[in-house]
Homo-oligomer: A and B are copies of this chain.
Amino acid sequence: MHISKKAAGMPSSAIRKLVPLSDAAKAKGIKVYHLNVGAPDIKSPECAIQEVIRRCQEMDHFSYTNSAGLMELRQAMVEKYYKKLGLDVEVDELLINIAGTESFAEAMQIVADEGDDIMVVEPFYTNYKTFCYANGINLVAVHSDIKDGFRIPDISEWEKVLTPKTKAVLISNPCNPSGKLFSREEMLKIGEFCLKHELFLICDEVYREFCYTDQEHYSALRLKGLEQNVILCDSVSKRYNLCGVRIGCIISRNKEVIAAALRFGQSRLCPPVLGQFAALGALDTPQSYFEEVKAEYIRRRDYTIKRLNSIPGVFSPTPLGAFYAIASLPVEDAEDFTRWMLSDFSKDGETTMVTPIATFYQNPENGKNQIRIAYVLSVPQMEKALDILEEGLKTYCSLKGFKQE
């Protein structure tokens, strides 16, 4: 029996594929610091949890919701979240989805057929490539470089890779994995580019609340004249540290796009109802929660970046958003190093897991010596995890003959 070529070629998650190695380490009694996955240790808002309990106490039956999600939730998202941000969104422009993930998987299929191109800035979130693969779409990257702090390439670079098959630009703002925050000017230029070439602009803004500068996040929804082009992919579960509840949304003012998104949504019947309850509760989260979370991430980021750059041979530019940092290491193959850390190294019975990010680049060679670190642990925990990383790197370099400089 042979599985399909498509299934055989379906990539493992770059972020999750090394989990068996960390499981094996744990089975040997080793404690693993998980800097590999963007699963923060921060508490979910109490109001979200209480709302689930309240609804469960009142209800005796969990039936399907509308494929578009609970109308009550769609309305609350518009009123309690987007309006507060000054973003003009109507209820019929917003559909509830199974997290941000479903939104961009849908958006890609809505804009591109098999053989079409979608443009991204590399490094990019690796699942973009996975969903393009699953749908026969080509992901075409313009390069942003760690040495320039992942500066967004000039539009002239984008023009170079444009083809008649290019249907959309896909950006993540702030960016997973680089932490890059797109400025208003950059957004305007990208918008102009999309208008000029009649491209959709898919914006993954799931890290919108995780920005660490005074610079305001410039949502693609603010772009004038691009109402028919912009498709916004947003997350509720990520924003409120409710990652497991899997709720997000897709927003577009293009009626054809929303109608198509609803047809995709109908095929999976409905988003999970209990998560929708959590989302309803989460929308009452006080602003102070976000301020505390932001202050905490700034502490973690500042510590992480300073510490990483103090390790000989390591370079990590300061991210302005999301909760990831990319670091280049003085090694040939960061995946080999990551595996070695899990299989062959520990310090006082502990080790650290990171994500090698070669596959976050169109050309894996561009990021072969880079890792992504999710600064999702408290500073004292990050300190321990980075102590281990530093010592592991030193041992690995000395074993393998790499110079740390």
A-side residues, CB < 8 A to B, are: 1, 3-8, 10-13, 16-17, 19, 37, 39-44, 46, 49, 52-53, 56-57, 59-67, 98-99, 101-102, 105, 109-114, 116, 127, 130-131, 134, 136, 167, 198, 200, 228-229, 237, 241-246, 254, 256-257, 260, 263-264, 266-275, 278
Q: Is A244 a contact partner of B63 (Cβ separation < 8 A)? A: yes
Task: Name the B residues within 8 Å of A278 (CB-CB).
Answer: 62, 274
Q: Is B101 a contact partner of A269 (Cβ separation < 8 A)? A: yes
Partner of A272, one of B37, B245, B264, B266: B245
CA distance A198 to B2 in the complex (A): 9
Q: Work out how many copies of this chain go into the complex.
A: 2
| Besides A1-B254, A109-B134, 16 new A-B residue pairs in contact (Cβ under 8 A), listed by A number | A3-B260, A4-B113, A4-B116, A7-B109, A10-B260, A11-B263, A16-B67, A39-B64, A43-B60, A53-B56, A62-B278, A64-B244, A98-B246, A134-B267, A244-B274, A246-B273
A111 closest partner in B (C-beta): B4
Task: Name the B residues within 8 Å of A243 (CB-CB).
Answer: 62-64, 269
Q: Is B60 a contact partner of A269 (Cβ separation < 8 A)? A: no
Nearest-Cβ distance from residue A92 to partner chain B, whole angstroms? 11
Partner of A52, one of B8, B56, B109: B56
Task: Name the B residues within 8 Å of A110 (CB-CB).
Answer: 3-4, 7
A38 closest partner in B (C-beta): B64
Given contacts A110-B4, A266-B17, contact A53 B64 (CB under 8 A): no
Nearest-Cβ distance from residue A373 to partner chain B, whole angstroms? 17
Task: Name the B residues within 8 Å of A198 (CB-CB).
Answer: 1
Nearest-Cβ distance from residue A187 to partner chain B, whole angstroms? 18
Task: Name the B residues within 8 Å of A42 (CB-CB).
Answer: 61
Nearest-Cβ distance from residue A361 to partner chain B, whole angstroms? 18
Given contacts A1-B200, A64-B244, A260-B3, contact A266 B12 (CB under 8 A): yes
Task: Name the B residues within 8 Å of A37 (CB-CB).
Answer: 64
Q: Is B102 a contact partner of A268 (Cβ separation < 8 A)? A: yes
Task: Name the B residues within 8 Å of A244 (CB-CB).
Answer: 62-65, 270, 272-274
In this complex, which of A17, A40, A102, A263 has the most chain B Cβ atoms within 10 angstroms of its Cβ? A263
Task: Name the B residues within 8 Å of A127 (CB-CB).
Answer: 267
Task: Name the B residues within 8 Å of A43 (CB-CB).
Answer: 60-61
CA distance A112 to B6 in the complex (A): 8
CA distance A42 to B63 in the complex (A): 9
Given contacts A263-B10, A270-B246, A274-B278, contact A3 B257 (CB under 8 A): yes
Q: Is A274 a contact partner of B245 (Cβ separation < 8 A)? A: yes
Q: Is B49 a contact partner of A60 (Cβ separation < 8 A)? A: yes
CA distance A46 to B61 in the complex (A): 9
Nearest-Cβ distance from residue A342 to partner chain B, whole angstroms? 16
In this complex, which of A13, A46, A99, A256 has the most chain B Cβ atoms within 10 angstroms of its Cβ? A13
Task: Name the B residues within 8 Å of A105 (CB-CB).
Answer: 267-268
Q: Is A1 a contact partner of B228 (Cβ separation < 8 A)? A: yes
Task: Name the B residues within 8 Å of A1 (CB-CB).
Answer: 198, 200, 228-229, 254, 256
Task: Name the B residues within 8 Å of A264 (CB-CB).
Answer: 7, 10, 134
Task: Name the B residues within 8 Å of A131 (CB-CB).
Answer: 267
CA distance A99 to B385 in the complex (A): 37
Task: Name the B residues within 8 Å of A57 (CB-CB).
Answer: 53
Task: Name the B residues within 8 Å of A246 (CB-CB).
Answer: 98, 269-273
Task: Name the B residues within 8 Å of A274 (CB-CB).
Answer: 52, 244-245, 272, 274-275, 278
Nearest-Cβ distance from residue A4 to partner chain B, whole angstroms? 4
Task: Name the B residues within 8 Å of A113 (CB-CB).
Answer: 4-6
